[in-house]
Amino acid sequence: MDIRIKIFIALSAVVLLCVSLGIAIGVQYMLIKDGGRDKDVPFTIVEMDVSAYCPCELCCGKFADGVTASGRPAEGFLVAAPPEYPFGTWMSIEGYAGGLPVPVLDRGGVIKGNKLDLLFDSHEAALEWGRKTIKVKVWK
Ligand SMILES: [Zn+2]
């Protein structure tokens, strides 16, 4: 084979390699950049001080009427969160409802800042949860 053809093939291969490598790096860079953008992430992770309650009078005092601040019944899996989380915001809390997303449907006098209160169906279950500082997934 002609030496010039060999050189040409070798150079072409090098150029092709550089171009594909460049594209690969470029794509990866774009992906990393996009991943860092807020709008592309469907949730944020917030470290919160998570306590527990039940619909009883000990937990809710004069609000122990079986109805949450949103008007929904105080039953099933739901969360009391500060007003910056509108009713209907979904949160995933490890160890509660099997880690599945649960809605914010209640408020509380002491539920401010990065505090959450989880509804349990019995006072014993609420006491068992106690209070935990954990990372909570807040879905957008
Ligand atoms: Zn209670």
Where do the structural domains in the chain lie, given as residue ranges?
3-39, 42-139
Question: Distance, CA 9 to ligand 1 centroid (Å)?
Answer: 79
For residue 67, give every residue at least 6 positions away whose Cβ sits within 8 Å of its Cβ, in sequence order, or none. Answer: 73, 74
Average of per-residue pLDDT across 74-97: 98
Whose tokens are 């601040």? That residue is: 69
Angstrom distance (rounded) from CA 17 to CA 30: 20
As a whole number, mean pLDDT of residues 34-60 equals 86
Rg (CA), the chain: 27
pLDDT at 23 over 70: no
The pLDDT value recorded for residue 13 is: 72
Residue 11 to residue 5: CA distance in whole angstroms: 10
User: Do residues 100 and 59 lie in contact, with contact meaning Cβ atoms separated by under 8 Å?
Assistant: no
pLDDT on residue 36: 47
- Whole-number Å distance, alpha carbon 139 to ligand 1 midpoint, is 28
Mean pLDDT score of the chain? 88
Q: Is the pLDDT of residue 17 over 80?
A: no
Ligand 1 geometric centre to CA of 56 (Å): 4
| Cα of 121 from ligand 1 centre, angstroms | 8
Span 42-139: which CATH code? 2.40.40.10
